[in-house]
Chain A
Amino acid sequence: MRLFVKRKIVWVFSCLRCIRQRLEKTPLVRRPFVTVACVFAAGIYACAHISVSLILSGFALFLFLLCAAVFIRREIVSRIFLVLVIFLTGALHMKSRTTVSARDVSHVFRYYANRQVEMMGRVISDVGEKSFRTTIKTSFQCRIRALRAPWGWQETRGKVLVNIFRKTPVRCGDFVILQGRLHFPFSGDPAEKFSYRDFLARKNIHHILSVKKTGKVRIKQAWRGRYLLGLIMRVRKDLQRVFHRYLTEDEAFILQAVILGVRQNVPKNIKLLFERTGVAHLLAISALHLGIVSFLVFLLIKVLPLPRRLQYGICIVFLLFYAVLTGARPSVVRATIMAIVVLLSLILEKESDLLNTLGLAGFILLWLNPQSLFDIGFQLSFLSVLSILLVFPRLKGLWEKQDPKPRAGFTGYLIQSFFVSLSAYTGVAGLVMYYFQILTPVAILINIVIIPLFSLLVMLGFGMLLVHFCLPQIAFFFALCIKVLLNVIVGITFLCAKIPGAYYRVENFSLQAVSLYYGVCGLLYVMLVRLNKKGFDR
């Protein structure tokens, strides 16, 4: 019996040694931020689905922290404890961000629900205007400071979405007093995957204040605090006006989405068309835009006799400005962090690993808002980039193995574009089928044609904005080129949507089917890696 136990212990230790050796070879270990981001995300996911006592998880966290410190010399044990610490930190961070304060509006909501209520607070977001039935709906986010109770103003905290059913001169940073009806956001059909209530909850907004045409709206203090944000919002409004000056209404709305990330006014038929052909990502700000912004910034500051490192620094400032200007959505923040890391690595003359940078971007985004893990934009953005970074080099490697003579020129570009498109689409197809119930095989082909044209459009868009302020006489020529190019892009998309089998409706694509899809993708990826290795061994 004793011998049997001894053998078993030896076997367990040999297994642990084997795992350690494997772990050291795995790319994840050499890319620490990927591991940190994945484990942190797992903690957030677990917290959202499992209810664990705060005291218990806090106690476990400190225990694991202690263990990680005690066993710091024992590599594998220390690593395991470190992973557990990151997991629990993620879970606790999620818990702390979703737990509302004792003075939050949620606690007093029941006294004011569906009744006229007066509140004061600060406008903390861009003020959007949209036509609504016969009037205009003005919407913004407001951080509440106080609610009027029968005995006077009662200090309250929390965020609400304000909808005012008329045009109002409110701006970001204003301190306002509003009177309206406080209610929950509608949750929509339970069968639908998208819920407006959940969407707002991810931004820590749980209530809406609807102010009628006759409701009170008073600006108590204009333009206080958040000066920089207010200024950026004003710049955004001015830039939006530039597009309307030179283009027709619908064209201007599309270009606003493409350049400034203002998507709410894009014509519905265009949105539908882009969704059906799998090019809806064109309406989201991504790395492509940041690349063009960096290029233009470098082009402009090259005129000045500045040292190279300072030029990179200025470019970082511009990228941050652009990220805030476009609403700091997950895809923009992800691309900005990655671009900044690459520029910093150039300043410090150190090499940066893109996969590790992606992990860092994911970790920062989840730290800023853990609930963004459940955001569709966040998931699609990270998955597409991850897929390109992992699959594209393997596909390229395999192709080069088959055809050792490297293809240059147009053919080489076409092959590479096809692989990038295929990698990105394979990565997001599962989620697209789950959230949008559509499969768009045509996206793989259309992206090869559309992306170069789209890059040109984005460059012309930025060029037009720049020229409008320096040489307004030339802006008209830019606008004409944009008009033709935009219509060509939309025309090609429309023609591609007409191809038989361009898209299929996928009804009831469940979460299990998504898991199965990504499981199969994982297996195919492992096969691809093996095929690549075999090729190299030969």
Chain B
Amino acid sequence: MFSFTRQERMVVLCLMAIIATGACIDLVFKKYPELENIVNLIEGDRLYTKLDLNKATRQELVAIPYIGEYTAQKILDYRRRHGKFTRLQQLKQVKGIREKNYQKFIRYLMVEE
């Protein structure tokens, strides 16, 4: 009954290890839901490397997804004309930036106080 070959033993062992690990994770997530939020890096906002809007250069702005050459130039023009950004919402006043685009690249930007 237990005459498994070495390879079969390895497969069964791996399968059991996965099931046991999965069951433990499930249990931990159920008991401590806040832990699931900590693990959930991909879905959260913590993974975004934020760029300071007041120090960003044109190249740095263009490197951000959803910001092209045109938008980057408009942001720099706005900064030159109105001085430093005090809050991120000011970006909406920049020509060409609509609410939808703003929501897309807001995760990559910040204003250092």
Contacts known (A250-B43, A254-B42, A490-B47); A269 close to B107, Cβ less than 8 A: yes
- The tally of residues in A whose CB lies under 8 Å from a CB in B reads 35
CB contacts under 8 Å to B, within A176-192, are 189
CA distance A267 to B42 in the complex (A): 9
List the B side residues contacting A189 at CB < 8 Å. 69
CB contacts under 8 Å to B, within A284-326, are 299, 302
Structural contact, A484 and B47, CB atoms closer than 8 A: no
Structural contact, A487 and B40, CB atoms closer than 8 A: yes
Structural contact, A477 and B19, CB atoms closer than 8 A: yes
- Contact for B26 among A480, A490, A505, CB less than 8 A: A480
Structural contact, A484 and B25, CB atoms closer than 8 A: yes
CB contacts under 8 Å to A, within B38-68, are 39-43, 46-49, 59, 63, 65-66
A449 proximal to B (CB < 8 A): no
Structural contact, A480 and B65, CB atoms closer than 8 A: no
- Contact for A248 among B19, B25, B42, B66, CB less than 8 A: B42
Structural contact, B59 and A505, CB atoms closer than 8 A: yes
List the A side residues contacting B22 at CB < 8 Å. 476-481
Contacts known (A302-B7, A477-B18); A270 close to B23, Cβ less than 8 A: no
Structural contact, B41 and A494, CB atoms closer than 8 A: yes
Nearest A residue to B45, CB-CB: A269
Structural contact, A490 and B42, CB atoms closer than 8 A: yes
CB distance from A465 to the nearest CB of B (A): 14
Contact with A along B1-22 (1 / 0, CB 8 A): 0000001000100010011011
Structural contact, B26 and A487, CB atoms closer than 8 A: no
Structural contact, A494 and B42, CB atoms closer than 8 A: no
- Contact for A460 among B18, B47, B59, CB less than 8 A: B18
B78 proximal to A (CB < 8 A): no
A403 proximal to B (CB < 8 A): no
Nearest B residue to A134, CB-CB: B100
A472 proximal to B (CB < 8 A): no
Structural contact, B19 and A269, CB atoms closer than 8 A: no
Contact with A along B62-100 (1 / 0, CB 8 A): 010110010000000000000000000000000000000
Structural contact, A481 and B18, CB atoms closer than 8 A: yes
Measuring CB to CB, which residues of chain B are less than 8 angstroms from any residue of chain A?
7, 11, 15, 18-19, 21-23, 25-26, 29, 39-43, 46-49, 59, 63, 65-66, 69, 107-108
Measuring CB to CB, which residues of chain A are less than 8 angstroms from any residue of chain B?
189, 248-251, 254, 267-270, 272-273, 276, 299, 302, 460, 463, 474, 476-481, 483-484, 486-487, 490-491, 494, 497-498, 505, 507
